[in-house]
Chain A
Amino acid sequence: MKKIEAIIKPFKIDEVKAELQNIGVTGMTITEVRGFGRQKGHKEIYRGAEYEVDLIPKIKVEVAVSTDMVRDVVDAIIRTAKTGKIGDGKIFITSLEEVIRIRTGESGNEAV
C-alpha cells in the first residue's frame, strides 16, 4: 500500500478529484496549504512598490491506494493538474506500513 501526496494549484482541485474518482479512488483528504518551490515565490509590482509573495496557496491531496494502483493514480493527477506553467506542483509517494478502517477494524488492502 502506498500513500500518494500531491501538491497542486488550487483551481485544479475539482478536475483532479473528479478524475481520481473516475479511475476508482474511493477516498481522499484535501488540505489548504501554502508553500514555494525553486522559484521561491514571485514578486508583484503594486502601485510602484515590489510586493513579495513567498508563500503561495496550493492544495494538498492525499490518497492511500494499493500498490498496483499507484501508476494510474499518478498518471491521473499529472494529466489533470498540469498546466505547463511554473507552480504546477509535485507528487510524493511513500510506503504505508498499515491502514485500518476505524468503524469495522478492517486492515490492509480492504481498508484502502
Chain B
Amino acid sequence: MMAIMHYGDNMYGPKDPASGFDLAKDIADRADSTIGSLHNARSCPAPERNWCIAALGGYGRQELCPFSDLDILVLVRPRTPASRIEAILAEVIYPLWDKGLDASYSVRTIRQCIFDAKKDFFLKTSLIDARYICGDQSLFEELARSFQRGINTHGLRRFIRQHKAHTLLRNKRYGDCAFGLEPDIKNSRGGLRDYHVMMWIYRLSKEIPDHRGLIDPVDMDCIQDAADFLLKIRIHLHLLTEKKTDTLRPEHIDRLKEMLGFNGTGRQDLIKTYREKALSLHMLCDTYLSFIADRFDQPFKRHRRSKDEFLDLTNGFINIKKPECLAASPLIVMEVFMHMAEKDLMLSPSALSSIKGFVSSDDTLERSMPARSMFLDVLKSDHPEKALVAMLSTGIIEKVIPEFSRIKGLSIFDVLHTHTVDFHSIRTIGMLRGLKGSMHEIFSRVKDLDTLHLGAFLHDIGKGSGMNHSIRGSQIIRMIAPWFGLDAERTDRLVFLVRNHLLLSRIALKRDLTEEKVIHDLARAITDTEMLDMLYLISAADSMATGEGEWNEWKASLLKELYIKLSHTLENNMFKDQGNASRLEENWQGLIDHAVRHTDIKGRLWALPQSYILSSSIEAIKRHLTLAALLDKTCTVKTDLVERKGHHTLTVIAKDRPGLFAMITGVLALSPHSTKMG
C-alpha cells in the first residue's frame, strides 16, 4: 500500500507548525491532482456531459491522512451506456490502484444516491461531505440540490437518533480516547469520529432555519481545535509507521515527539496535551449528543418549572439560569455537580460552557471549605462517575485538590492498567459505589465514610513521582486531609489507608494464609475492624477498576479468605488489651533468642499458636519444644508434669492422629483426679 505522500516530501519537515487540517488538505490536494491528471490524460477528450467524479467522506472533507483510503463517487446520468462507464473506470479509477492507492468507488445516478442513502446510514454521512473533483460540474450541483431538499427537521431527528445508536456501539468496541492507554485516534470515544458526528450535525442543522443555534460556535471552535491536534497526530502516526495506523501505542510516542517538536522532557507532555484535547472533545461531544438527541426525541416535553433559583433541572439536564451569578456565588458550580451525582443528570452544553468560563477566572474555590465538603458529597453519592468526569474536564477537581493535577492524564504503562491514573481513580469510586450493594454488610459497618471515599479516590495520588507510590501518596494525603476537615486522628487513619492500600492484595497472593502468625502480625498492624473493612473495600474497588482481567473469582476468594481470618482475629480482641500485646512480644523475643542457640527447634516456632505463646511461660515452652524434638517412630507420646501451688499441670505432646483428643480426654476422665482441660 502506497502512501499518498511521504515524510520528507518537500512540503513537510519535522516540527512543522502547520495545523492538522492544513496538512490533511495538502494530502487531499495531492490526491485531487493525481485524479485530475488521469482525467486529463484520457484518450477520449470529448466534453463530458453525463458524468462526474466526486470525493466522499474524509476525502470530500479534505481531511486525508497519508494512508487513508479514497472514497470516490462516479456520478452518472440515467441510461449512460455501460461501455462509457467502463471506459471512465478503466482510465481514471483503475490506474489509481495501479499507483498503489487505496481507492474505493461506486457508480450511481443521483436518484440512486438519494434512495440508497435513505437506507444506508454510512452512505448518507459520506454524501454530506461530497465534493466535486472533475467532470460535469452541473451534474454534481444537481446532486447537491437534491440532497439539500431532503434535509428537514424530521430527517435531522432521524439522523441524530441513528447516530446515537451507532455511537453507543462504537464506544463499546473501541473504548476511551481520553483515558485509554492505547487509544484508537479515529474510533475511540473522544476521537475523530466524535468530531465527525458533531460536524455533520452542525452542517445539517445550519440548513434548517429552526435549528441554526444547535451547536454554539464557541464550542465548535473548541471541537475544531481538539480535532486539529488529533488529526495532526494521526497523520504523523501514518508517516511514522508507513501504514494506516490509528492506534497510538507507547512505542510511537518518542518518535512522534521528535516529529512534532515537543520539547519537554519525558513523554508525558505529548500525552498530556493529547489527553487534554481528547477529554475536552469527549466531554463536548457527549454533552451535545445527549442534549440534542433528547431535544429531538421529545420536543413537546412539559417543562417543569424548578423551584431552584439558580438552576434549572428539567428533562434530565442541568441548566444554569443566570450564569453571570457564578462569579458572585461560586458554590453554585459545586451544587451543579452535586445534583448531577445525586440525581444522575447531565450537563447541558450551555452549563458546561458557563462552568468552563467560570473556572478560568475564579480563584475562590481553592480556598473554600464548603466546596470541599460538597466534593465529598459527590464522592459519596449514588452516581459519582459522570459528575467526576465532568469535574475533571472542567478543571474543578484541581481547584478542590490541587495535587490531583499530578495524576491528570498520567499513563502508567504496565500489563495491568488499561486507563490513565485519573480515570482509574474515578472508576474506583464508581466501583466502590457498586460495592455498597454487593458487599452491603461490610459497607454498612463503616462509619467514617469521608475517610473511606477520600482513600478510594486518592489512593494512587502518589503515582508518577518516581518513588513508591503508596509512600508518596500517604505523604501527600497527610497534607490534603485537613483541608477536608479531618482531625488528627482521622488524618492518621486516612494516611494509613493510602499507605497500605495494596497490603491485603499482596498478602492474600503472596503469603500462606494458614499460618497464624501471618494473620496475627497483619491484624496487629490493622488494629481495628473498621480499618479492615475500609482496606478490604478499597482493595476490591481498586482491583475491579484496574482492568478487565484483574478482578476475578479467583482473586476475590483469596482476598475474602484473608478478610475473614483477619476479621476473626480482630474481633477476638486479643490485642485490645495492651498488656497482652506486650507480653506476647516479650515471649516471642525470649523464644527467638533461645532458638538462636538451639537451632533444632527453630523450625517449629512459627507454627505455634499465639494464644499458647501468650499463656505459657518461656520455660514451659522450651521444655515442650525439647520434648517434641524427641518424638519419632518408636516414641510417639511425651508428657510433661509440673506441680505448682497444690495442683499439677500435665502437658501431652504427641503426633496428631484421628481421635487423639478423644483418647486423651477419655484416659483422663477415667482417672480418680479431678481435671480441668486446657
Contact = CB atoms under 8 A, between A and B. Distances in A.
The range of chain B's interface size is: 10 to 19
B557 interface: yes
B567 interface: yes
Looking at B509, B553, B567, B568, which has the most chain A CB atoms within 10 Å of its CB?
A: B509
Contacts of B568: 45-46
Interface string B490-531: 000000000000000000011111100000000000000000
Contacts of A34: 553-554, 557
B265 interface: no
A55 B557 contact: yes
Nearest to A32: B554
A57 interface: yes
B511 A57 contact: no
A51 B557 contact: no
Interface string A73-101: 00000000001010100000000000000
A85 B552 contact: no
B557 A11 contact: no
B510 A32 contact: no
A10 interface: yes
A56 B558 CA distance: 8
B511 A11 contact: yes
Interface in B551-585: 552-555, 557-558, 561, 564, 567-568
Nearest to A51: B564
A44 interface: yes
A80 B613 CA distance: 28
A14 interface: yes
Given A10-B558, A83-B512, A46 B564 contact: yes
Contact of A53 (B509, B511, B561): B561
Secondary structure at chain B's binding surface: helix, strand, loop or mixed?
Answer: helix
Nearest to A34: B554
Nearest to B571: A47
A15 B513 CA distance: 16
A46 B512 contact: no
Contacts of B564: 44, 46, 51
A17 interface: no
Contacts of B511: 11
Interface string A30-45: 0011100000000011
Interface residues of A, number: 18
Contacts of A11: 509-513
Contacts of A53: 557, 561
Nearest to B518: A11
A32 B552 contact: yes
Interface string A1-24: 000000001110010000000000
B510 A57 contact: no
Contacts of A14: 510
Contacts of A33: 554
Contacts of B512: 9, 11, 83
A57 B562 CA distance: 12
Contacts of B510: 11, 14
Nearest to A33: B554
A84 B385 CA distance: 48
A87 B510 CA distance: 16
Interface in A46-71: 46, 51, 53, 55-57
Contact of B558 (A45, A57, A85, A87): A57
Contacts of B514: 83, 85, 87
B554 A57 contact: yes
Contacts of A83: 512, 514
Given A9-B512, A11-B511, A83-B512, A57 B557 contact: yes
Contacts of A57: 554-555, 557-558
A49 to B, nearest CB: 11
B283 to A, nearest CB: 38
A1 to B, nearest CB: 30
Contacts of A51: 564
Nearest to A87: B514
B175 to A, nearest CB: 25
Nearest to B565: A44
A29 to B, nearest CB: 16
Nearest to A46: B564
Contacts of A46: 564, 567-568
Nearest to B560: A53
A80 to B, nearest CB: 13
A33 B510 CA distance: 16
Contacts of B509: 10-11
A32 to B, nearest CB: 4
Nearest to A59: B554
Looking at A9, A32, A57, which has the most chain B CB atoms within 10 Å of its CB?
A: A57
A43 B510 CA distance: 22
A87 B514 CA distance: 10
Nearest to B567: A46
Contacts of B553: 34, 55
A11 B506 CA distance: 10
Contacts of A45: 568
B25 to A, nearest CB: 44
A87 B511 CA distance: 14
Contacts of A32: 552, 554-555
Nearest to B512: A11
Nearest to B552: A32
A35 to B, nearest CB: 11
B539 to A, nearest CB: 15
B530 to A, nearest CB: 15
B36 to A, nearest CB: 48
Looking at A9, A44, A45, A83, which has the most chain B CB atoms within 10 Å of its CB?
A: A44
A83 B606 CA distance: 12
Nearest to A86: B514
Contacts of B557: 34, 53, 55-57
Looking at B554, B555, B564, B568, which has the most chain A CB atoms within 10 Å of its CB?
A: B554
Looking at A11, A44, A56, A83, which has the most chain B CB atoms within 10 Å of its CB?
A: A11
A85 to B, nearest CB: 6
Looking at B511, B513, B564, which has the most chain A CB atoms within 10 Å of its CB?
A: B564
A11 B511 CA distance: 5
A105 B608 CA distance: 55
A23 B567 CA distance: 41
A44 B564 CA distance: 8
Given A44-B564, A46-B567, A53-B561, 14 more contacts: A11-B510, A11-B511, A11-B513, A32-B554, A34-B553, A34-B557, A45-B568, A46-B564, A46-B568, A53-B557, A56-B557, A57-B555, A57-B557, A83-B512
14 contacts: A9-B512, A10-B509, A32-B554, A32-B555, A34-B554, A34-B557, A46-B567, A46-B568, A53-B557, A55-B557, A57-B557, A83-B512, A83-B514, A87-B514
By Cβ-Cβ distance, the 5 closest A-B pairs, closest first, are A32-B554, A57-B554, A57-B558, A46-B564, A11-B510
Interface of A: 9-11, 14, 32-34, 44-46, 51, 53, 55-57, 83, 85, 87
